[in-house]
């Protein structure tokens, strides 16, 4: 059972090497600036992770544009999404995705938690802004597909985020729980990505009162009925990081992980480097054994994650 749960957990690490035993409790790692010192160091880290768990998923947020978690490697800055959207040249966007994918693949990273499929629909949005390709849903959709295609051409899994749309918020989910209306336009890029077979999507820590009082990450109405049944997405659904205050102000990691998996998430992301991942694994096991979390839901999630790992070795 603990191995089944491990396939549904992705964790951060504190430094530049793999903590002993971590991958006994989770099947995924996410890297940040704190984990990147040099190209050789990152390759040693990813090689050590694969030696410990050959089917490991190793992720990073590499959306393009200034800065980024690989800046310490001297990587050239690419065009950000806003600039790509304004240029509106899908071949350029595909090339930008391919360049990022090639860099990640060369470091042993097989998942890019990008691109943003959110609309830039509010000028006062503190967290999306230039990370979006634009405000027009058709434009955003075609550039999301182009960026995904570029990553895929290098053997890197793409992840459209943040479902069902973070662009209409006026609050930052890293700091508080945003509340937003959801429009049909918000869903256009996600529907396009699902139709094109994007392998992953990420949930938003945003509440949409017309759908549910709970944030999307913890909502069966959003993750199962809307995303799976209506949008038709069949890939891996990963949560945004559970330490973000939209979630952590209300739930501990273990409880949030159980709620997210029950709602329909397949891969739970806890990105801080000092989290008790073994304890989270134990709590999910206990939830299954007590009947709070159906084993069939966990088996479904683990099967999707395992299929993704086989597709992107």
pLDDT value for 79:
77
Which pLDDT value is given to residue 236? 98
Active site residue 274: no
pLDDT in tens, 51-70: 999 999 999 999 887 667 88
270-273 contact pairs (CB < 8 A, 24+): 270/9, 270/10, 270/11, 270/12, 270/241, 270/242, 270/243, 271/11, 271/12, 271/30, 271/32, 271/241, 271/243, 272/12, 272/241, 272/243, 273/12, 273/13, 273/14, 273/15, 273/34
Q: In the prediction, which pLDDT does 72 show?
A: 76
**Residue 234's pLDDT is what?**
96
Pull the structure tokens for residue 261.
Answer: 């998996």
User: Could you tell me what percent of the chain has a pLDDT over 90?
Assistant: 81
| HSE-up of residue 233 (Cα within 13 Å, Cβ side) | 35
Which of these ranges, 80-89, 170-179, 238-247, has the smallest mean pLDDT? 170-179
Name the catalytic one among 172, 174, 251, 276. 174
pLDDT given at position 67: 64
From 118, 186, 212, 240, the catalytic residue: 240
Q: Is the pTM of this model over 0.85?
A: yes
182-193: per-residue pLDDT in tens? 999 999 999 999
194-233 pLDDT tens trace: 999 999 999 999 999 999 999 999 999 999 999 999 999 9
Active site residue 276: no
Q: Give the pLDDT band of residue 76 (cuts 50, 70, 90).
A: low
Q: Domains (ranges, CATH) in the chain? A: 2-311 (3.20.20.300)
């Amino acid at each position: 059972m603990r191995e089944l749960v491990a396939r549904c957990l992705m964790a951060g690490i504190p430094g530049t090497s793999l903590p002993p035993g971590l991958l006994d409790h989770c099947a995924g790692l996410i890297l940040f600036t704190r984990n990147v010192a040099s190209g050789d160091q990152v390759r040693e880290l990813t090689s050590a992770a694969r030696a410990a768990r050959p089917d490991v998923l190793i992720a990073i947020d590499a959306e393009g544009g200034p800065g980024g978690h690989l800046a310490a490697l001297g990587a050239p800055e690419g065009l950000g999404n806003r600039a790509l959207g304004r240029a509106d040249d899908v071949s350029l966007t595909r090339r930008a995705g391919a360049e990022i994918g090639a860099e990640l693949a060369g470091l042993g990273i097989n998942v890019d938690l990008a691109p943003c499929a959110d609309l830039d629909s509010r000028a006062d949005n503190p967290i999306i802004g230039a990370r979006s390709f634009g405000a027009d849903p058709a434009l955003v959709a075609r550039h999301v597909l182009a960026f995904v295609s570029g990553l895929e051409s290098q053997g890197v899994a793409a992840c459209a985020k943040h479902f069902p749309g973070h662009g209409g918020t006026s609050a930052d989910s890293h700091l508080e729980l945003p509340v937003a209306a959801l429009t049909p336009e918000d869903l256009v890029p996600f529907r396009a990505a699902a139709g094109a077979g994007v392998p992953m999507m990420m949930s938003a820590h945003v509440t949409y009162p017309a759908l549910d009082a709970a944030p999307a990450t913890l909502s069966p109405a959003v993750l199962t009925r809307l995303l799976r049944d209506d949008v038709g997405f069949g890939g891996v659904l990963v949560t945004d990081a559970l330490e973000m205050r939209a979630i952590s102000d209300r739930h501990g990691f273990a409880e949030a992980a159980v709620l997210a998996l029950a709602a329909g998430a397949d891969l739970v992301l806890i990105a801080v480097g000092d989290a008790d991942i073994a304890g989270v694994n134990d709590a999910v096991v206990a939830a299954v054994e007590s009947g709070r979390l159906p084993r069939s839901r966990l088996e479904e999630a683990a099967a999707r994650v395992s299929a993704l790992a086989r597709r992107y070795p």
